[in-house]
Amino acid sequence: MCGIVGAVAQRNITPILLEGLKRLEYRGYDSCGVALHVDGQLQRSRSTSRVTDLEQQIEEAHLKGFTGIAHTRWATHGAPASHNAHPHFSPSADLARIALVHNGIIENHDELRAELTALGYVFQSQTDTEVIAHLVDDMYNGDLFDTVQQAVKRLTGAYAIAVFHREEPHRVVAARQGSPLIVGVGQGENFVASDAMALAGTTDQIIYLEEGDVVDLQLGRVWIVDSNGKPAQRDVKTVQAHTGAAELGPYRHYMQKEIFEQPRVIGDTLEGVTGIMPELFGDGAYNVFKQIDRVLILACGTSYYSGLTAKYWIESVARIPVNVEIASEYRYRDSVPHPNSLVVTISQSGETADTLAALKHARSLGMEHTLTICNVATSAMVRECKLAYITRAGVEVGVASTKAFTTQLAGLFLLTLALAQINGRLTDAEEAEHLKSMRHLPVAIASVLALEPQIIAWAEDFARKENALFLGRGMHYPIALEGALKLKEISYIHAEAYPAGELKHGPLALVTEEMPVVTVAPNDALIEKLKSNMQEVRARGGQLYVFADVDSRITSGEGVHVIRLPEHYGLLSPILHVVSLQLLAYHTAVARGTDVDKPRNLAKSVTVE
């Protein structure tokens, strides 16, 4: 998704801006650009290709400057084309006074566009961002900081912006509302970015701006005002942002590497967990867990599916009712609030706009007991929630989430056990047994990874298909959903998942000899029911691709292909079964030759609504 980097320094900042963009690349983007203050003029370079091409363009044009801004764009308003790429200039490319970059969506852009067009501004792009550039130019009163404070009052929607003016060569002004933005404090130089990771290697002194903040960056000065224009004190934190995307090593793609990292990161996530106690989720968790009598889970995409899996766990083990909601729906739904809910947000990035908004909505309805399961300790989600469990998946570069998902499941299983304990539903013996199973997970996952050659053979068949169905039952139904999502995201094969018992109520009409039906078939209490559902598929000629356990008693035969996972893993079985589905999606995508780590149209961190 869109990324921002900006700098004011007394040295050439192009390497810092470009390095920052490269660090944000993994989030997904379709164009990029840099604008610099060069000898009293604004100059820019934009590209619809990769940041390395932009770098080459900048080198060829000998572009250097002490003040500037840069951006990776993920198209929302207007096609991914060079004229829509940021930075945007105002009043025009030739007479540029203002350069501006923006993350987020301006909802009243049509109205402002009409107003500014009437004033004589000629728009060069279809973006909502260009509206802000012209608005700032129109309102400019000789002081960019003051102007931006006034201009943002005219905006509705979400934004993080960074802007500079031709007449104020050592100043960048930035503002945020609904989209993340941080300030990097240097020695006599200052920076702004949408993520601290963009500044890794440049500065580790980070200020997290709050909603409504506007910041004035000059050479030796960082001055922040809040949404009321009042001076605001924000702490400077030392942040060990990752110094860069890890090396690929022997792997072909980051996604493959991340799938294979799962034994290690699950181990890391559980490191230090010597027993089940509420404090695993933060100080004060005991009191919170004591007060709640239900759980409301809010998340999007893959994280939503981890929440759905947790519903099965929490209800059956802790006996607490759980409601799982898609964040983008919940935030606008007229739901019935329950103040004794534990509101759990699940997010890999901790910056997903819909999940953050759903959290705020839940709080506005009087639900104050909030907890997040999140992979980024410094993210907005962790800052906004009272309690947190930080998964230790490490940076996930592949857009399709893999290791973040399984570490979320590990965190959610711990939450299940902690709630069960508070509820008097976990004996010491059960606790010890569950912890033993969790500690064995890395070895169990490694044995699933060893099935890769068999899965590659299936992937060859799948690569020739355009549709696939995924079936699961009980807590493996969300795993079927996740398997289908993985396949469609990276191989572009249309895939749908159903609870297997639901097939006969409609989707069975899709089953022909051409339809591969992936079935998640662990040897659990529903296995015999599932086998009947599989018969329904075979009777219509459907091709079954079954991930069974070693003792599921399903054998290969005509139209039935079986891969056996080496052990049945009880309640934690979803964590093993999803790994086989990740490998199937990955190898199918490789066989189809898609851009596995950066699938079309998708972004890693979805910071717009």
Q: Nearest CA to 158 among 87, 89, 88, 104?
A: 104
CA-based end-to-end distance of the chain: 12
- 301 vs 472, beta carbon nearer ligand F6R: 301
Torsion angles phi and psi, residue 462, rounded to 5: -65, -35
Helical spans, DSSP H, in 338-398: 353-364, 380-384
Q: Reply yes or no on whether 604 is catalytic.
A: yes
Q: Would you state the structure tokens that stand for residue 566, as one six-digit string?
A: 């080496």
Listed in sequence order, the residues at least 6 apart from 120 whose beta carbon sits closer than 8 Å to its beta carbon are none
Taking the least distance from each CB to ligand F6R, the nearer of 374 and 503 is 374
> Minimum distance from CB of 346 to ligand F6R (Å)?
7
Smallest gap from residue 302 Cβ to ligand F6R (A): 3
- In the set 2, 32, 300, 374, the catalytic residue is 2
Contact 390, 404 (CB under 8 A): no
- Closest by CA position to 121, among listed 109, 108, 137: 137
Amino acid present at 160: A
- Beta bridge mates, 388: 372
Strand, helix or coil at 206? strand
Per-residue x/- track, 382-401, ligand F6R (CB under 6 A): ------------------xx
Using the contact rule CB under 6 A, the part of the chain among 17-25, 298-306, 359-367, 504-512 near ligand F6R is: 298-306
Asked if residue 169 has a cis previous peptide bond (ω within 30° of 0), the answer is: no
Q: Which residue in 302, 372, 491, 523 binds ligand F6R (CB under 6 A)?
A: 302
Evaluated on CA atoms 104, 208, 381, 25, the torsion sign reads positive
Which residues have CB under 8 Å from 274's CB, separation 6+? none
Q: Mark 473-502 with x for binding to ligand F6R (rule: CB under 6 A) and - for no binding.
A: ----------------x-------------
Segment contacting ligand F6R by CB under 6 A, of 9-17, 296-304, 468-476, 509-517: 296-304
Q: How far is the CB of 597 from ligand F6R (least distance, A)?
A: 12
Q: Interface with ligand F6R includes 262 (CB under 6 A)?
A: no
348 interacts with ligand F6R by CB under 6 A: yes
**Rounded distance between C-alpha atoms, residue 172 and residue 85, angstroms:** 19
367 contacts ligand F6R (rule: CB under 6 A): no
Report the nearest approach of ligand F6R to the CB of residue 603 (Å). Answer: 8
303 binds ligand F6R (CB under 6 A): yes
* Cβ 579 to ligand F6R shortest distance, Å: 14
Q: Rank residues 530 and 585 by Cβ distance to ligand F6R and give the closer one.
A: 585
Residue 539 Rama label (left phi>0; alpha psi -120 to 50; beta) = alpha
Contacting residue, 43, 352, 421, 543, with ligand F6R by CB under 6 A: 352
Tokens of 316: 């059956």
CB closer to ligand F6R out of 125 and 352: 352
* Residue in 197, 300, 409, 487 binding ligand F6R, rule: CB under 6 A: 300
Q: Site for ligand F6R (CB under 6 A): which residue of 103, 127, 328, 355? A: 355
Is residue 349 close enough to count as binding ligand F6R by CB under 6 A?
yes
| Active-site annotation holder among 465, 486, 598, 604 | 604
Under the binding rule (CB under 6 A), the answer on residue 582 touching ligand F6R is no
* C-alpha dist (Å) from residue 371 to 8, 103, 278, 417, 531: 37, 27, 12, 15, 39
606 binds ligand F6R (CB under 6 A): yes
Helix (H, G, I), strand (E, B) or coil at 22: helix
The residue type found at 41 is Q
Q: Which stretch binds ligand F6R (CB under 6 A): 28-36, 127-135, 235-243, 301-309?
A: 301-309
Binding-site size for ligand F6R (CB under 6 A) equals 14
Nearer to ligand F6R, 301 or 478 (CB): 301
Q: Which stretch binds ligand F6R (CB under 6 A): 256-264, 294-302, 414-422, 579-587?
A: 294-302
Minimal distance, residue 485 CB to ligand F6R, in Å: 6
CA distance 188 to 211: 26
Burial of 167 (0-12, 13-18, 19+ CB in 10 A): exposed
Span near ligand F6R by CB under 6 A; candidates 140-148, 241-249, 341-349, 458-466: 341-349
Candidates 301, 472, 474, 522: give the one binding ligand F6R (CB under 6 A): 301
Q: What is the DSSP string of 427-485?
A: -HHHHHHHHHHHHHHHHHHHHHHTTHHHHHHHHHHHTT-SEEEEEE-GGGHHHHHHHHH
User: Which residue's CB atom is positioned nearest to ligand F6R?
Assistant: 301
Among residues 347, 370, 391, 407, the one that binds ligand F6R under rule CB under 6 A? 347
Burial 226-255 (b: 16+ CB within 10 A, else e): bbeeeebebeeeebebeeeeeeeeeeebbb
Q: Is 436 a catalytic residue?
A: no
Q: Which residues are identified as catalytic? A: 2, 604
- Residues in touch with ligand F6R (CB under 6 A): 300-303, 347-349, 352, 355, 400-401, 489, 605-606
